[in-house]
Amino acid sequence: MDKEHPNIEVLKRLDLTNLAASAEVIAEDFVWHYYNPKLPDVQGDYVGLKGLQTFFETIGKRMKGTFKVNPVSITPMGDEFVVVHVIDTMVLEDRKMELDAVVVWRIVDGKIAEAWDIPGVNTVREVEHEAKK
């Protein structure tokens, strides 16, 4: 049986719904880089565990609690990087939508040191609202 890459094991210990429980895998000087020209008030760098919590709280409020991250693939790149493809789903301005995003994680000495969150803002897909019964 193939052994899983150690950086993937680190990422599997990251719980985006309970970041405080994941503190041991996040470096003290961790930086979350978020690029999204469609959300300029959210775009920027978030530092440390507190910064990452602030980012997800801000996104959660902006999307009225509908924001979900749905992993599609995870690929280690060498000894330091892991690239994750996700499909994010949300309701924004009363529009249900989904979009592809890539997060590049940098892992050093078993801790997440940095991440770049790059959403595909030019290829957002509107999703039909579910029919009401």
| Spatial separation of the C-alpha atoms in residues 17 and 127, rounded to whole Å | 24
| Spatial separation of the C-alpha atoms in residues 113 and 127, rounded to whole Å | 34
In this structure, are residues 88 and 70 in contact, taking their beta carbons and an 8 Å threshold? yes
How open is the CA angle 63-68-69, to the nearest 5 degrees? 130
pLDDT band at 130 (very low <50, low <70, confident <90, very high): low
Q: Which CATH architecture has domain 6-119?
A: Roll (3.10)
9 C-beta neighbours (distance < 10 Å), count: 13
Residue 27, CB-side half-sphere exposure with 13 Å CA sphere: 17
In this structure, are residues 85 and 102 in contact, taking their beta carbons and an 8 Å threshold? yes
In this structure, are residues 84 and 105 in contact, taking their beta carbons and an 8 Å threshold? yes
User: Tens of pLDDT along 67-108?
Assistant: 999 999 999 999 999 999 999 999 988 889 999 999 999 999
Give residue for tokens 């991250």.
69
pLDDT at 30: 98
| Spatial separation of the C-alpha atoms in residues 9 and 83, rounded to whole Å | 13
> Domains of the chain: which residue ranges?
6-119
pLDDT at 93: 84
The total number of residues shown for the chain amounts to: 133
pTM, rounded to two decimals: 0.89
pLDDT at 129: 57
